[in-house]
Amino acid sequence: MRAYWELAKGGYRRYARYRTAILAALIANGAFGFIRASLLMTAITTAGAAVGGYDLKQASTYVWLGQGLLGAIPLWGATEIATRVKSGEIAMDFLRPVAALGQWWAADLGRAASQVIPRLVPMLVVGTLTTGLALPRHPLPYLLFVVSLVLGVSLTFLAWTLVNLLAMWVVEIRGYHALFMIVMNLLTGLLVPVSWFPGWLRTLADATPFPSMFQTPIDVVMGLAGLEAIGVQAVWLVALVGVAQLMLHRGTRKLVIHGG
Amino acid sequence: MSTTIIDAEELTREFVVYDGGGLRRTRRVVRAVDGLTLRVEPGEAVGYIGANGSGKSTTIKMVSGILTPTSGSVRTCGLRPVPDRRVLARRIGVVFGQRSALWWDLPLEESFPILAAMHRMPRAVWLRRFDVLADELDLSSFLARPVRTLSLGQRMRGEVAAALLHSPALAVLDEPTIGLDMISKENLRRFLARERAERGTTLLLTTHDMGDVQRLCDRMVVIDGGRVAFDGTEADLVATTDAERILVVDLEEPLTDVVRLPDGASVTATEADGARLSIAFRPRQLSAAQVLAAVQAQGEVVELSLAEPAIEDLVRRIYASGASHTASPPPL
Amino acid sequence: MADARAQTRTPVDLAPVTWWFMVRTMVGARIRAQAGFRSSFAADLASQLLLAATEFVEIYVLLHNAPVFGGMNLAQATVVYGLACVAFGVADMLFGQLDSMHSFIREGRLETLLVRPTSLLLQLVTADVQLRRLGRAAFGLAAYLFALSICGVEWTPDKIALAALAPVGGILIFGALFLASGSLHFWVLDGQQAGNAFVYGGRYVSSVPAGALMTPVRVFFTFVVPATLVAFVPSAVLVDAPLPEFTTAGMAWLGIPVGLALWAVVLLVWRAGIRRYTGAGG
């Protein structure tokens, strides 16, 4: 619908303006890229063989792709929705003729779109020039990547929205926020690929949507994962949308009945 | 056939308030709105007046669908506000004082295509409408600036434009002229009056500014303690409160004796050594003509003027007479 | 009795506002306030502990796949991680407030602090002492001591001294990094992420065996942002692990001197930043 397109454009424009922030983020991402690439590559060299399905070049690619996608995929989330709940400003989102979840989702996709090129391309350039990249030469992984990225961004957005919506019931969400960050830091494969995890941790991670948020799009574009992984993303998407709708429905009923 | 725009019947809203803390917390039920009955027909302009805490914002929330009544019923544009909130959103436009309907980080003008899309307005239609709004509300000098950088007055004008973009049947405005300078206030009032005249938009305006009421509204509803304390025209208000009118007469020569006035009239001030008299009288008891006649019988009147009681005084009288009926202070 | 005491007490507004007075008053208030919300404080503390623990899991996973990493085994790497956590946790508690310079400036709150008669730095530092960050330090201390005990260290007097002094050096270095990152905001408002690169990048580097880093990266984080001096080099000397290129055993003691030197430099930058912000500089 046209409304979602306009909302996405709004999200895009809002974040495309922060040029200094993008530049600063690139510096940070670059620094971390070198650190992470070093560590992963040393581990592979010491092991003498590919680890968890990644050889040296692939590990390097994994790192630089990851650093580049940190802009689009909102791993560290935002507490904007929670703030709106606390201030009551969220009522304005409800007074519009379009569903609130749709409004926020569309805006976030717009935001993500604004961050893809400015943050991914420089990281890939640095990666090519330094530790090397191993990217497929045929188009299919790239097409699948677009789908997987949209799903990854959406999953991350939805997960954060669920944490934010807790503000409708709980006075202080900071604790849940912190807990979420902790779990997410570990299980998304941000620092270490999920396939490197020891058995028990791997099973735990796979039972959550976290690997689907970040690692899956990266594996897809590298040609290491395909439709099956995207299918998993889609299943999680449906699940999280369901939970979000439920929370919103219950939450708005509470707000509307008790005032807020 | 036109539906009643707002149809509230015995509308009541209670809040649970906790006083004190720890072990001595007591639970108290407060009625922010208490049996409010109000009917607004299409095309009316209603000034909704009340002190802070009188139940104004609570009423508005129930009318727009973001708060459920505890009891009683309300229909807005024929719809039930809470269950049909998103459908209702297409027919009403709401301007809140503290909350913004605009996108905070985007330039003001970028909020409008989004709103237009949400209201499914065809491109040509909304562009034309936007031009008119921008012109009449004088938005052009700050259209390109992010909303968060605007002053309160600028933002309010933007909010009004946003609320009226889709030409709603009902416009609910919460203190819209606050923070505006005199010229902007007048422009906004003129704009709202024209909207009403040209499009038949119903206006529900909460305000402290009596100028808004006099200039825009043909009906005043005073809310006090969650109930309607007064509902009528300004003339009704004067009559009801029986506030005094003042006749100021300039005499050819000061009177030699104290002026004799009929019952219900008294001199409140004299100036120019008695050549000018200010006479206050109760409109229920006497007409201006009677007072004038009494004075003319004693001396020659060269000039006269008639002053109406200030609306603020009238409203204050309403509160004063209602104070004894207030059960408990409503929450903020 | 009470009257006599009241008469001899110095009125507060005549007492010199000393550093100590400020620190005592404000920190005391913060501590009381935070300790007051018992359950949420406990939860915060627990979450900091948990955070430190999950980050350790990452190190564990890396070493799980490669038994010797950067010249160290798991126990030795744990010494590094623990020491880094202690240093960072304490530094974060003391100086972490400088991280939020960004929002201070954005909201215009800096002005209200600048018009007060005490140093801006002191005010920022005492504004919000986050006791909960000790959670990370607590985890780190436990890991540090435990790992040292299982590493089979041959304890000599200077090793004991090194083990005790290393955290202090680390705290100084991280504190200086926080301050440097905060100073950046006087020049570039949205540059907080660049500052983060050095504070959090430094933290990350300090918690891993630096031998695993590529030489250019390691050199940068030793001689420019001295992160390896916080934990890796002292730890390697303590547990007798091999030192990589460009690193010598003597450097293990450089934590405190380098930290102090860094503070001196960064304080100059900070002052220049304030001058610039208030328009008094060139």
pLDDT tens digits, A216-245: 999 999 999 999 999 999 999 999 999 999
The predicted complex's ipTM stands at 0.84
How many whole angstroms separate alpha carbon C124 and alpha carbon A194?
40
Residue C250 belongs to a domain:
yes
Interchain contact, C214 vs A185, CB within 8 Å: no
Residue C94 belongs to a domain:
yes
Q: Is the distance from CB of B93 to CB of B112 less than 8 angstroms?
A: no
User: At residue A63, what is the residue type?
Assistant: V
How many whole angstroms separate alpha carbon C275 and alpha carbon C282?
8
Residue C15 belongs to a domain:
no
**DSSP summary character for residue C241:** P
Tokens 């250019």 identify what position? C216
The chains found to touch C (3+ Cβ pairs under 8 angstroms) are A
pLDDT of amino acid A98: 92
Contacts of A37 in chain C (CB under 8 A): 214
User: At residue A70, what is the residue type?
Assistant: L
How many whole angstroms separate alpha carbon A73 and alpha carbon A81?
17
Give the orientation angle of helix A100-129 with respect to helix A2-16, to 10 degrees: 50
Contacts of A13 in chain B (CB under 8 A): 106, 110
Measuring CA to CA, which residue among A176, A246, A222, A179 is closest to residue A69?
A222
Q: Which of B256 and C213 is assigned the larger pLDDT?
A: C213
Q: b/e string for A197-213 if b means 16 or more Cβ within 10 A?
A: beeebbeebeeebbbbb
Task: Please check whether residue C71 touches A, CB under 8 A.
Answer: no
Interchain contact, B106 vs A94, CB within 8 Å: no
Q: Determine the average pLDDT of the residues in A165-185.
A: 86
Measuring CA to CA, which residue among B262, B270, B267, B268 is closest to residue B291?
B262
How many whole angstroms separate alpha carbon B68 and alpha carbon A257?
5
Per-domain residue ranges for chain B? 6-238, 244-308
Q: Determine the average pLDDT of the residues in C182-187.
A: 86
Q: pLDDT tens digits for chain B (332 residues)?
A: 468 899 999 999 988 887 766 667 788 888 899 999 999 999 999 999 887 777 888 999 999 998 999 999 999 999 999 999 999 999 999 998 788 999 988 999 999 999 999 999 999 999 999 999 999 999 999 999 999 899 888 999 999 999 999 999 999 998 888 778 888 888 899 999 999 999 999 999 998 777 888 888 999 999 888 889 889 987 787 777 777 888 899 988 888 778 888 888 888 888 888 888 888 888 778 888 888 998 888 889 999 998 877 767 777 777 777 654 433 343 43
* pLDDT category of residue C8 using cuts at 50, 70 and 90: very low
Q: Determine the average pLDDT of the residues in C38-42.
A: 67
Q: Which of B244 and C144 is assigned the larger pLDDT?
A: C144
What is the pTM (predicted TM-score) of this model? Answer: 0.82
Query: How much of chain C exceeds pLDDT 70, in percent?
Result: 85
Task: Please check whether residue B202 touches A, CB under 8 A.
Answer: no
Q: b/e string for C40-72 if b means 16 or more Cβ within 10 A?
A: eeebbbebbbbbbbbbbbbbbbbbbbbebbbbb
pLDDT of amino acid C14: 42
Query: What are the distances in angstroms from CA A149 to CA A196, A236, B252, C11, C24?
Result: 22, 14, 91, 65, 52
How many whole angstroms separate alpha carbon B130 and alpha carbon B124?
10
pLDDT at position C12 over 50:
no
With 0-12 / 13-18 / 19 or more C-beta atoms within 10 angstroms meaning exposed / middle / buried, residue C188 is middle
Residue C87 belongs to a domain:
yes
Q: Determine the average pLDDT of the residues in C70-91.
A: 93
pLDDT of amino acid C22: 66
Task: Please check whether residue A172 touches C, CB under 8 A.
Answer: yes
Interchain contact, A198 vs C64, CB within 8 Å: yes
Q: For chain A, what is the mean pLDDT? A: 92
- Chain A residue with the nearest C-alpha to that of B70: A257
Residue B310 C-alpha, separation from nearest chain A C-alpha, in angstroms: 36
pLDDT of amino acid B326: 37
pLDDT of amino acid C39: 62
**What domain count does chain C have?**
1
- What does residue A58 show for φ and ψ, rounded to 5 degrees? -70, -40
Tokens of C236: 């390697």
Q: Determine the average pLDDT of the residues in A4-15.
A: 94
Residue-by-residue DSSP string for B111-147: HHHHHHHHTT--HHHHHHHHHHHHHHTT-GGGTTSBG
pLDDT of amino acid A101: 96
Measuring CA to CA, which residue among C181, C190, C197 is closest to residue C103?
C190
Interchain contact, A18 vs C190, CB within 8 Å: yes
pLDDT of amino acid B332: 36
Tokens of A81: 């929705």
Measuring CA to CA, which residue among B70, B162, B233 is closest to residue B59?
B70
pLDDT of amino acid C204: 92
Q: Determine the average pLDDT of the residues in C29-45.
A: 66
Task: Please check whether residue B76 touches A, CB under 8 A.
Answer: no
- Chain C residue with the nearest C-alpha to that of A38: C213
Topology of domain B6-238 in CATH is Rossmann fold (3.40.50)
Tokens 């976290």 identify what position? A210
Tokens of A217: 């799009």
* pLDDT category of residue C40 using cuts at 50, 70 and 90: low
Tokens of C163: 């083990």
Class for the domain spanning B244-308: alpha beta
Q: What residue spans of B217-287 are helical by DSSP H?
A: 234-241
User: At residue B117, what is the residue type?
Assistant: A
A positions 74-113 inside 8 Å of B (CB): 87-89, 91-92, 94-99
Query: What are the distances in angstroms from CA B266 to CA B261, B279, C32?
Result: 7, 5, 66
Across the interface, which of A27, A47, A172 has its CB nearest the CB of C197? A27
How many whole angstroms separate alpha carbon A122 and alpha carbon A136?
19
How many whole angstroms separate alpha carbon C223 and alpha carbon C219?
6
Task: Please check whether residue B59 touches A, CB under 8 A.
Answer: no
Residue C206 C-alpha, separation from nearest chain A C-alpha, in angstroms: 11
Tokens 């905060």 identify what position? C182
Determine the structural domain holding residue C98 and report its residue range.
47-277
Is A17 strand, coil or helix? coil
Do chains C and A have 3 or more beta-carbon pairs under 8 angstroms? yes
Residue C96 belongs to a domain:
yes
Residue C211 belongs to a domain:
yes
Instruction: Give residues with Cβ within 8 angstroms of A200, minimum separation 6.
Output: none
Length of chain B as a residue count: 332
pLDDT of amino acid B56: 87
Q: Determine the average pLDDT of the residues in A148-168.
A: 96
Across the interface, which of A13, A255, A256 has its CB nearest the CB of B110? A13
Measuring CA to CA, which residue among A154, A164, A214 is closest to residue A184?
A214
How many whole angstroms separate alpha carbon A105 and alpha carbon A98?
12
Q: A51: which strand partners?
A: A54
How many residue contacts between A and B have a Cβ separation below 8 Å?
72
Q: Is the distance from CB of A77 to CB of A156 less than 8 angstroms?
A: yes
pLDDT of amino acid C282: 36
- Element containing residue A106 per DSSP (H, E): helix A100-129
Instruction: Give residues with Cβ within 8 angstroms of A102, minimum separation 6.
Output: A3, A4, A7
Tell me the HSE value of C203 on the side-chain side, using a 13 A CA sphere.
26
Residue C33 belongs to a domain:
no
With 0-12 / 13-18 / 19 or more C-beta atoms within 10 angstroms meaning exposed / middle / buried, residue C1 is exposed
Across the interface, which of B64, B99, B105 has its CB nearest the CB of A14? B105
